[in-house]
Every structure is written in C-alpha cells, then in structure tokens.
Chains A and B, each alone.
Chain A
C-alpha cells in the first residue's frame, strides 16, 4: 500500500519534525510513503476567515497534488476535516474539481485515524515513561469524528502514565486567525486550558493538531512552565526509537 503525505503548512514550515516522525512510523509499519510536492495548504486559514476565493487557490493545489493518491494521511484532524467538511462547497462551481475533492475526502485520513481504523494498528511498540495528558482537538473530534483513535494508540504505549485532562473537550482558543484577531479572548481561553493541564501535573500534553499545540505550548512557554507539548506522532516515534530526529 502507498500513502501520500499531506503534510499541512504548519508542520511543513514550523514543525517539520512532526512530519518526519509520522513518515518514520508509517515506514516502520511497512507502508510506502510518498510526498507529492505540488501541495501547499488546505486553505482553511483563508476559508475560516471568509475569504473563499483565496482559500480555493491553495485548495486546488491539494486536490490536484493528490489526484492519483491511494491514501492521503495528514498530521492534522483540522486540515483533514476541512477537506471532508468544506471542499464540496468550495468547489461548487468547479464540477471537475468537486468530483476530485469528493474522491480526496474519501481517501483522506488523520494520522491516528489511519493507523487505528485503516491499518488496524493500535500498538506501535512504543515505550514512553512519562506522565502524559491528552488534549482532543475540536476539529478532529467534531468535524472529522476522530475521538477514540488517538487514545487507543496512547493507551497501548508501555510505561506511559496517561492522566485525564479536566474539561478536555473545551477548545484551547486557537481557532486559526481567531487567535490573532481576538487575541485577548483567545489568551483567556488558552490560559484556562493551561490551568487544567497544570492540574494534571503532566510532563507532556499530547495532541493531534499542531495549531492547538502551538497555542497551548506558546502559553505554557510564556508562563515559564516545563510541560512539553507533543504531537502524537512525535511521542510515538520517540517511544519507539530514541533515535534523534533532525531538528
């Protein structure tokens, strides 16, 4: 089987190590991984701000780049959710691409969803001897319906101490451009989220979306906390292999 990586603009440019961890895990499982270079971004930042034409421009790159893909896997439930939830509407006046978008949605998965629900892999053989709490990202859970898959993977990590996050399903306040446009409100939200993370006394807060983790991590860093935000792919890869991912 061949998997095409949809790496998301955030991971590509800010957190490439997350993309690498994902690739290495998939490779380890025995899946062939390719990276279609024509992709840029799903268009969500523009789309959620109301700029549909601008969103369509980058959404086109995605639809075209993955036209021949067998499976498309991404480290973000939010970006995958964008494809599933809004692409049909986005290409309403472009029948050819609307059809392609429909096919893309049918073969696109968030990373943990792909492992658990498509490959049936629930244990990647990782060991992670730390106290960890999981923040479920809103779009992955609500837009895409990925709720149990990340936890299934985490529960099977050896030596991990998984602690429930209070008010876990409350949004961290990221919301893309919302975090900048309504900065004060967003900061109040993430501050409450970080308070709950602290209540768990966890060393690591793990998630499936770098947008949220960038927000939670940015607040924790500002507060001078020593809690590490990690993408689930990073955590699993580190747990499998203490090999160094090039920084």
Chain B
C-alpha cells in the first residue's frame, strides 16, 4: 500500500471505496457506529470543558488570542525572512537543513539519511507531518522497524489505522480494543486496567528506545532567532526519541515558525490550553542543534526537513494564507458538531475536522478532497474556538467558491443555482416560482408537511419532514395587514405607552445610534467567549 492510500485505510473502508463515496459515503460507517460516536463525544466534551476551565483561569483570553493571531499572521506574512533566519541558525548550531517541496522529496531525504546511517530501527514521537508524507510505510517496505512511541499513535499503529484526531490519535478506541491490540502485540494476557496497559507499553517502548538508530519527531514551533526546535509533549517519549538514538530527524511544516522566544511565551499559553485544557504540557523541550562536546545528552546528528507540500501556494492569497497560522491544537475538532458525529476517519485525510476540511483540499491539488469543505454547516464554532483566530468558516466558503469557479461542481447543481439567480433577482419572478411550488407540492404534502423522499428533497426528507410553501406569502398578505396596523398616536398604542415609553418623534434622538451599535457588534464578531 502506498503512503497516499494509507490515509483512508482504516479497518473498515478500503481507500478506493472511500474516495468514490466521498466524505458523506465515508461517514455512513461512523454514523452507524454508536460506540465510535460515544467515544468521540466523550473525549471532545471532556477537552471542551477542560479548555474552558483553563482559559478562564488564565484570564483575558481574547487578548491572548489576538496576540497569537498577530504573531502568526506576522510570521506567515514574512515567512521567507524567518525561514532564512531559522535555517541559518539551525546550521550554525550544527544541524543539517533540507527543504522538501513535496511529500516525495521529504521521504527521499529521510530514506537517504537512513541509508547513510545504515539504520534498522526507528522510534518516532507524534508528528502530523510524518503522517502527511506517509513515511512509516516507506521505511517498513525497506525492512526498517518503525515504532510509534506516543501511546495513542502506538495504538493506532498496532491497529494499522491512521490517527483520527490531531491531538488524541486513538480517540475512537476503547480500553477493550486497546487490550486486545496489546495482547496480540506482546503475547501477554493483559487486563483492561489502565495501569496494566500503560505498563505494557512502557516495557515495550523502553527496549525500542535503547536499541533505536534514529529518532524522528515533529516540531511544534521553530524559533527563528536561535534555530531551536520546540516540542510540547505529555508522555516524555519525545525526550527519549531525541536523546537516545544517535541521529535525530525533525519533520516540520514550513509555517511552523515563531520569530523569538518571547513569541513562544504566547504560544505556550495558547497551545496546551486549547488542545487539552492544560496550563502547560508535562514537557516543553527546546532543542538547538545537535549535541555539543559539553552536553551530557542529545543526538550527535540532527537533520531538519522543512516541508512545503502545497503550503507556499497559499501565500499571497490574503484569505487562504490564514490557514498557515494554525498551531495544530485540535480545538476546532473538539467543538465541531460535524466531527462529533462522523469522527476523524470519515474525512479521509491526514487532518480531520474543520482544519482538515480546509487544509486537505488546499495541500492536495485535484478533486480528491474537494468535497471536504462541504462537510460543514458553517456554524462558526471552529472560528470561535481557534486560539489564533483563523476564520475557518470563511475559509470553507472560500474553498467552495474556488470549487465552483473551477467548474467542477455537478451540472444539476449549477443549473439549480442559475434557477435561484433567475427567480431571486426580481420579486415578480420569485412570486411566480412560489406559485409553481404551491401547485407542485400538492401531491407530496399531507397535513401541511412533506415526507416524500424524492428528487432533491431526499437529503432532507430521509430524516426530517419538510414544511410546505404557505398558501399566501407574507408579500401577498402585506396589503391587508398594513390596513390593520395602528398608526402613530392611536389609542391602542397609547395604551401600551407604559410598557415601552413613547417612542414617537422626539425620543428618536435618544435611541442608540445604529451605526455605533453595529460597530460594536462587528467588534464582538467571532469573539471566542465561551458560554
């Protein structure tokens, strides 16, 4: 299986099926899997709750978010400069830097390092970029043993699946399933007790760490001013991966930079709180170059691979380049009502949830992920949750516009919207269209509702009743309604004067000025206050 196809290779859908069906087809499995949805809901709710507690206790969360947005926007807008500075500083600290234009180039660099080191065993800590380039299979095909050392990633690896969440890779698995996977892997008869399971993983890992030739990690942030790589982890495995093997390979997306350590302070406050509701992760490791003669530990050799893979194509698109601000915290997944129902695998891409629905079509040309931006009700919960204020719901609309403009949408859909344009550009046409609808709905409606599952209505009526077009529209009722209305100063109005004061003439000046209120509501838009 190629790296490309592994993305959808879960234990329930072959990749070919997955792509023929699209996201809706891939969702069907999850929608019928009550356990999976319960597991996703349980974890997402817990993370949401913890995030709320953590952000409240920090205080002034909106200011932190705004600061985060500014730092990331500034970095992305000046990415060329910071990449240059970062690469120079990594090199000066003894690391080797490679720029990979796409996944294939990144894989080739890793493979050449493996060959040079004659490496047979690799330990990895969590890295979404490594998923993006599908490195595990390529190395395994060469007979190299690759072990995921993050507990969640290890579970997913044993199950021959892919992560279904950016932060909690095995969010869709339960204790029983984990026990079975570990029992099979270790030949021991284990119980479902958490301590027993983690102890097994620890014992297994310890041996792998000691004998590994190469460690592969991702990179949460690269600090341009020093050439440092920063990793946020909870299990301590990344420190083993970066210190025990003699060679360390870092995989990072080209946008993962921060100008200075001062900027890291902001991110260190935003990232763990948004991801897991922790004030700080158990470990925040900062690695600068490779081991110096005076150092007691660290890899002797450090190789840093900076991946483009479609990222730079977004630079200059003033809307879409915001997607590069993402710090991969997963907060948008945890609040997403769609992700909650279908889980991560239904997205069929490395990055699931709202961020995946934007990122996957952007990083991969062609039609493969072109339906993902439609897997959203545009409710805006993701934008509200994002710690760096990426306007995800706007970007989803923007991607739909791109899709329409590219002429890839179905002919029937294009015709439907041409019809919309025709009918809705003149009130007379709209009234006529509604008259036709009133006539057309007659055989379909009973008791004032429509249950028939025919034609374009089907998507709606499979699970819901549809309303019927009213016998007379508001527009048609207006003339008679207007005649009934009390005009200013009539008795009825006076009678209710005590309720609301007399709003006639003179007091208008005292009413809130519309424009200032609107200004205020614009200011409040997208504000992430959690209720």
Max count, chain A CB within 10 A of own CB: residue among B379, B458, B492: B379
Question: Shortest distance in angstroms between B278's beta carbon and chain A's nearest beta carbon?
Answer: 23
A34-56 CB contact bits vs B (8 Å, 1 = yes)?
01011111010111111111100
> Given the complex, which residues of A lie within 8 Å of B508, measured CB to CB?
1
> A119 is contacted by which of B430, B485, B511 (Cβ under 8 Å)?
B511
Does the CB pair B380–A179 fall under 8 Å? no
Query: Which residues 1-57 in A have Cβ within 8 Å of B in the complex?
Result: 1, 7, 9, 11-16, 19-20, 23-24, 27-33, 35, 37-41, 43, 45-54, 57
Contacting A142 at CB < 8 Å: which of B338, B380, B451, B462?
Answer: B380
Q: Are B525 and A30 in contact (CB under 8 A)?
A: no
Interface residues of B (CB under 8 A from A): 23-24, 27-28, 31, 337-338, 340-342, 374-381, 383-384, 397, 399-405, 409, 413, 417-418, 420-421, 423-427, 430, 434, 437, 449, 451, 456-460, 462-470, 472-475, 477-478, 481-482, 485-488, 492-493, 496-497, 499-504, 508, 511-512, 514-515, 517-518, 520-522, 524-527, 531
Q: Chain A interface secondary structure, helix, strand, loop or mixed?
A: helix
Q: Judging by beta carbons under 8 Å apart, are B342 and A185 in contact?
A: yes
Inter-chain CA distance A191–B37, complex, in Å, is 13
User: Is the beta-carbon distance between A71 and B521 smaller than 8 angstroms?
Assistant: no
B425 touches A40 (CB 8 A): yes
Contact of B381 among A20, A105, A119, A138 (CB under 8 A): A138
Q: Are B337 and A30 in contact (CB under 8 A)?
A: no
Q: Say yes or no: B514 contacts A107, CB within 8 Å.
A: yes
Contacts of B380 in A (CB 8 A): 138-139, 142-143
B319: nearest chain-A partner, CB-CB: A89
Where chain B touches its partner, the secondary structure class is helix
User: With A43-B424, A106-B515, A120-B511 in contact, do A171 and B337 touch (Cβ < 8 Å)?
Assistant: yes
Say whether A46 contacts B421, CB under 8 Å.
yes
* Count of chain A to chain B residue pairs whose CB atoms are closer than 8 Å in the complex: 281
A49 / chain B contacts, CB cutoff of 8 Å: 400, 404, 413, 417
Report A217-243 CB contacts with B as 1/0, cut-off 8 Å: 111011000000000000000000000
7 residue pairs, one from A and one from B, having the closest CB atoms: A175-B377, A187-B463, A183-B459, A50-B400, A218-B464, A171-B379, A58-B424
Contact of A30 among B477, B482, B502 (CB under 8 A): B502
Measured CB to CB, the closest approach of chain A to B447, in angstroms, equals 9
Count A-side interface residues using an 8 Å CB cutoff. 98
- Bound together, the chains give a CA A54 to CA B401 distance in angstroms of 11
Closest chain A residue to B27 by CB distance? A185
The residue on B at minimum CB distance from A171 is B379
What are 23 A-B contacts with C-beta separation under 8 Å? A15-B470, A16-B477, A28-B486, A29-B503, A30-B493, A35-B474, A40-B423, A106-B515, A113-B521, A125-B496, A125-B499, A178-B374, A179-B460, A181-B459, A182-B23, A182-B338, A185-B375, A188-B341, A192-B340, A214-B467, A218-B460, A218-B466, A246-B477
- CA distance in complex: A7, B476 (Å): 12
Q: Which A positions have Cβ atoms within 8 angstroms of B?
A: 1, 7, 9, 11-16, 19-20, 23-24, 27-33, 35, 37-41, 43, 45-54, 57-58, 60-61, 71, 84-86, 105-109, 113, 117-121, 123-125, 138-139, 142-147, 168-171, 173-176, 178-192, 214-215, 217-219, 221-222, 246
Could you tell me the distance between the alpha carbons of A125 and B526 in the complex, rounded to whole angstroms? 33
